[in-house]
Structure formats: structure tokens, C-alpha cells
Amino acid sequence: MNKAELIERLAEKTGLPGKDARTAVEAIFDTEPGSGLIPEELARGGKVTISGFGTFESRTRQPRQGRNPRTGEILTIPLSRAPVFKAGKPFRDRLRASP
């Protein structure tokens, strides 16, 4: 499912007009600075927990040594932050029960 399909399904399920469904999805997930609630919170170093669904958070990866596979040259991979999602138990159970 892509973003357009998510918006369409949200509109069908809730009875919202398509424009309002798009606004809701973008308010939660949009990655433009100052737009989406989840990316905004993760950028501040916080986490978002949705009971029964899961937790979004960002984790810091420490600098480490890597190797260029072409040349074999050793290089330093800098510190980075990555988004992480951990599914909640009801969500995991639902996926396990699906065929």
C-alpha cells in the first residue's frame, strides 16, 4: 500500500472526504520540516508510542570502522541516527494469526 492508497482507504473507512483524509495522513507522516507529527518528534529525539500498535523512535549509531568493498580501504563511518519501529504485542499477534 502506498500513500495514495492509504489516503483512499482512510477516506472509505472513516467517511472523510479525500482532501481531509490526505490532510490527516500528511499531518501524521509527512517528512517535510514542521509537518508530520511522528517525524518531527523523532527529529527532536523523542519517541511516539501508539498503544496496541507499536513504538517509533530514533536510535543513534556510533561511529565505526568500515571497509570499501572495491578497494579494501578502511574508512570511518560517522555517527548517524536511524528511525526504528517496534511493533506492539497485539499487532505482532495479529500478524502471526494471519495466513
Domains and CATH numbers, the chain: 45-99 (4.10.520.10)
Sheet strands side by side (includes 54-61): 47-50, 54-61, 80-87
Beta-bridge partners for 57? 47, 84
- Does residue 37 contact residue 28 with C-beta atoms inside 8 Å? yes
User: The whole model's pTM is what?
Assistant: 0.77
Nearest Cα residue to 37 out of 45, 29, 25, 46: 29
- Does residue 60 contact residue 79 with C-beta atoms inside 8 Å? yes
pLDDT tens readout for residues 37-88: 999 999 999 999 999 999 999 999 999 999 999 999 999 999 999 999 999 9
Residue 97: which pLDDT band, with cuts at 50, 70 and 90? confident
**Which cell is 5 given?**
492508497
